């Protein structure tokens, strides 16, 4: 069973990041935030989640049986603290803020190459946003932001 851990106050563990949208290699925010600050970038999958199309960026929403395609990004140790803070700002995430669009959570992802399971930070749609997307959102059926031409007819 996959577990989700909400972030509390206090120092965050130094986990890699699972990125599935504009932070993926080749996407615009990768160049702005990650280029030159990573040790490794590996294709990976997140289980029990689906993607919805946001205004120019995707939202991952928890859903049993779904799969989201992305990349596991391991930051250089010397860049980790500033990178975590910058990604939280980019995603407009503040611990405990009910206005968050995303929540940073720790989840297990599977590396596409060798099937290893790795715990990573990722940004999931906050509960009110996820509820709205489930009823009126445009789901990306492929589970891959890069393949977003294949959308469901939900909404």
Q: Per-residue confidence of the chain (155 residues) as pLDDT tens digits?
A: 444 444 444 566 899 999 999 999 999 999 999 999 999 999 999 999 999 998 778 999 999 999 999 999 999 999 999 999 999 999 999 999 999 999 999 999 999 999 999 999 999 999 999 999 999 999 999 999 988 754 443 33
Cβ atoms of 61 and 49 closer than 8 Å: yes
Instruction: Detail the DSSP E strand segments found in 4-153.
Output: 5-6, 17-19, 38-53, 58-75, 102-111, 117-125, 138-140
pLDDT at 80: 95
pLDDT at 56: 78
The candidate with the shortest Cα–Cα distance to 29, out of 38, 21, 18, is: 21
Location of structure tokens 């932001």: 145
Take residue 34 and report the two structure tokens written for it. Answer: 């990650």
pTM of the shown model: 0.87
Q: How far is CA 139 from CA 6, 121, 129, in A?
A: 24, 22, 13
């Amino acid at each position: 069973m996959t577990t989700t851990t909400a972030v509390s106050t206090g120092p965050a563990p130094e986990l890699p990041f699972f990125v599935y949208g504009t932070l993926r290699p080749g996407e615009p925010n990768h160049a702005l935030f990650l280029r030159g600050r990573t040790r490794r970038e590996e294709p990976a999958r997140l289980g029990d989640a689906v993607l919805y199309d946001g205004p120019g960026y995707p939202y991952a929403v928890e859903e049993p049986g779904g799969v989201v395609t992305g990349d596991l990004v391991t930051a250089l140790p010397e860049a980790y603290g500033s990178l975590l803070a910058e990604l939280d700002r980019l995603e407009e995430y503040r611990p405990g803020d009910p206005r968050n669009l995303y929540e940073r959570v720790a989840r297990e992802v599977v590396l596409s190459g060798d099937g290893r399971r790795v715990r990573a930070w990722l940004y999931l749609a906050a509960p009110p946003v996820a509820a709205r997307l489930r009823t009126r959102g445009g789901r990306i059926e492929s589970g891959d932001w890069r393949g977003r031409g294949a959308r469901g007819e939900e909404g």
